[in-house]
Every structure is written in C-alpha cells, then in structure tokens.
Amino acid sequence: MVTEAASSSDTLVIVPTYNEAQNIERLLGLLFGLSCHVSVLIVDDASPDRTADRVRTLQVHYPERLFLIERPGKLGLGSAYVTGFRFGLSRGFTYLVEMDADLSHNPEDLPRLLEPLRRNEADLVIGSRYIGGVRVMNWPLSRLILSYSASLYTRAITCLPVYDVTAGFKGYHRRVLEAIDLDRVRSNGYSFQIEMKYRAWRKGFRLLEVPIVFTERQEGSSKMSKTIVWEAAWKVWELRLRDLLGWL
C-alpha cells in the first residue's frame, strides 16, 4: 500500500523501516529541519511496533514531503531500496538517497552528500566511515574489525576503488539508477550495498566518498545477522565472476 502526496523537491531520501517506531519521529524532524529541501519515503515491512502508524500521523505535518509504502512482510533491505528507487524515478526525483532509520547516519551530513551531486562532481556519493581514518562510534571491536575487513576483502577481489564498500548512506544521481537493471539486483544487507557500488562503478559512473561519523543506534535492535555477512562474502565472488563472463 502506498500513501503519497505531491512534492516540489528534487531529492528523495529513502528510509527502509522494520520496528523503528522509537526513532522515526526524531529522524523525520531532523530531516525536514534541514536547510536543503528534501522529501522522504518510508518503506515499511509490516513493522509489529506499528512504525507505519507513526509515519501516517506525521504525514499530516508534512503533507507534501512525506511518503509511505507499506509492504506485507519483512522482505529485506535490498528490495526495500529497489522499491524506493522505482518510486523516486517514476516521480521525477533527480537525487535519491539511501539512509538508515536508526540515526546512525547523521541527517546533518546529508547536504555534504548532495553538494557534489548538484555540482556534477560525482554520480554516486558515499558517506564513508573509513576514508581518511576510522570514524565509528560505540561499536564493539569485533564488529568494527568485521566491517573494515569486509571492505579490504571486497576491494581485493573486485578492485572496487572505495574504502567503505558496505556503507549504507549514499546519494545517487538518477542517471545511475536508470542505467542499472534493477530487476537483476536481488541481494540484501551488506551485499546489496556492495553490489550497487560495483554495478555503478562498472557502468563508468563517478564514485566519491565523503567522510562521516557513524554512530551505533541508541534505540531499537540491530538487524545484523550471520546470514547477511555470509551472503556478502559470497556475493563478492559472484559479482566478479558475472562481470568476467559479461553477465553483470
């Protein structure tokens, strides 16, 4: 089910949600309080904590800037973003942004992601935790090592020129998403983030990393799992092989 309204913004921030009722009101308040004019699409996977109900209530306050798509179950991060991309492209947005709902991505960093896109200095801008040093707050050392090692592992196999390959805070110019066959993007979690960067790079688009500080969520629970990690480990090899065979 889609709830929507008209918008004059050229930027759509896509936020997948599953049990984010504790965070969503604060996130939206921060986003709509920015000097850059953005619209927001929430893609909710039937959250048991009624996140979608919170969003519908807030639509009264942001009637032309807040959109909601409700899906029938927990269908995954990657498919949520693909759903959001299709929504944004069909409605004429020029810039489409991926962002987490848990406030680990600081909304105040959003203008810095958009600036290189608006200046035509890049086609995909990545909010990077690792370029120029490590900037991650409140993660246990084991998770930091896993994330950083995943970037090294992916870069070694794919030669992708990105320090933070699993970054989930990204801004696209619409031409990138129009060039990628979204029907062929079926990965989730870490692997989705890797795949989208890799496909954009192999299409010849310009990727740029800007430094951000990533802060672990304070409310709610992480969606990270061993399944997500293993999927990413195998997806890297699949992407490389498909590329070599011309099947990407």
Predicted local confidence at residue 7, as pLDDT: 56
* pTM summary value: 0.89
74-78, 128-132, 214-218: the lowest-pLDDT one: 214-218
Spell out the alpha helix ranges (H) of the chain: 21-32, 51-59, 77-90, 110-118, 141-158, 174-179, 189-202, 226-245
Per residue in 17-39, is it b (16+ CB within 10 Å) or e — as a string? bbbbbbbbeebbeebbeeeeebb
209: Cβ contacts below 8 Å, ≥ 6 apart = 125, 126, 127, 128, 131, 162, 163, 164, 167
pLDDT in tens, 185-203: 988 877 999 999 999 999 9
d(CA 61, CA 73): 27
pLDDT in tens, 57-92: 999 999 889 999 999 999 999 999 999 999 999 999
Helix, strand, coil percent values for the chain (each to nearest 5): 45, 15, 40
- Name the band, by pLDDT with cuts 50, 70 and 90, for residue 141: confident
Q: What is the mean pLDDT of residues 225-241?
A: 75
Predicted local confidence at residue 196, as pLDDT: 97
**121 has pLDDT over 90:** yes
**228 has pLDDT over 70:** no
Q: What is the mean pLDDT of residues 7-36?
A: 93
Percentage of the residues of the chain whose pLDDT score is greater than 70: 91
Predicted local confidence at residue 137, as pLDDT: 80
